[in-house]
Amino acid sequence: THIDEDSATFAESMRVLRPRSNARVPISRLPDDVLMIVFKYFEEEMRLDGFNNDDDEFASDVINDVPACLPLTHVCRHWRKVALDYPTLWRFISSISPLWLDVILERSKNVPLVVSYTLFSMSRKDCVEKVLLHLPRIKHSQLRSFAWDDDFVMDLLLSHPAPVLETFKFIVYGSLPPTVSISDTIFQGQAPLLRDLEVAHCDRRWSSCIFGRLRTLRVGETPLPDLISALRCMPALEQLTIQLPTFDETMLFDRMPLARLKSIALDGTSLQTAVSLFAHLALSVDVKITLRFSSIEGPRTFADLFSVM
């Protein structure tokens, strides 16, 4: 009919005229490099607004399980092209659906990735496995899992080197005893840029140089002998946060010098254990010390603590 023909003609005219009209808008005259900066801040705001944990600097890259930067690709053709040609915009990978994970991995091309995953369901296992196949280009990684998934995650972390990894956090939830060890074979023993490490509820058995360049270390419930053994391999350490269980004070160790340490924090530690720890560390006088005691009972006193600091 004539009405249908007129409607089709009108729609075609609008299709042709819309890009011309968009081109007259001031923001459309911004250079692509400036537009990329705008996109970067938009993506960051959307990503952080979609995450509720203020303690996680990685945050999530998804809102309603889609990438935070996705709306930018649905404004106009030019914006879509700029966004798709900006792989850094797509480098944040979190607990995203399998469908969007493939898209993110493709659009991020070869840029270093920022990964934050919480492995609380079977469907996430496939995603984590796919992501960790890209371990050689992961720059920052935070993984959370239940204790019964430790072996699964660790097998993946043992399978590839991590040549660009700078930050690694592995948090395990659950009351089961640790069943997996973080050892020198993690990342196939290759993580030369690793500077920030946090592990909780895992056995830690390291003695080689894979962690020798750490600047920041946060560990939970680590026996003092294991901690001292680890610190001997970390001469560049600047920040240390630890939880120490009560241990046999008859165990003796040489004092461990930490010449570059700037701050040390003991969280949920007894006064007695704190005294024993500082008795085995040789610290500079300007180190910042933060203590949060779980108990001050026992034969040790604050005078004993101050005398060994």
What's the average model confidence in pLDDT over 124-143?
Answer: 88
What is the pLDDT, as a whole number, of residue 136? 95
Q: Where are the alpha helices (DSSP H) in 54-175?
A: 77-84, 98-107, 122-132, 150-157
- CA 27 to chain CA centroid, nearest Å: 35
What is the pLDDT, as a whole number, of residue 6? 65
Whether 59 has a pLDDT exceeding 50, the answer reads no
Q: Which of 52-61, 134-143, 194-203 has the highest mean pLDDT?
A: 134-143
Q: Where are the alpha helices (DSSP H) in the chain?
A: 2-23, 32-49, 77-84, 98-107, 122-132, 150-157, 224-231, 271-278, 302-308
Q: Pick the residue with more confidence: 174 or 125?
A: 125
Q: What are phi and psi of 108, to 5 degrees?
A: -80, -10
Distance CA 279, CA 249 (A): 11
What single-letter amino acid sits at 177? P
Residues 93, 46 contacting (CB under 8 angstroms): no
- Rounded (5°) CA angle 72-78-80: 35
Entry pTM = 0.80
Q: Which of 177, 175, 134, 172 is nearest to 154 (CA)?
A: 172
The secondary structure element, H or E, covering residue 292 is strand 288-295
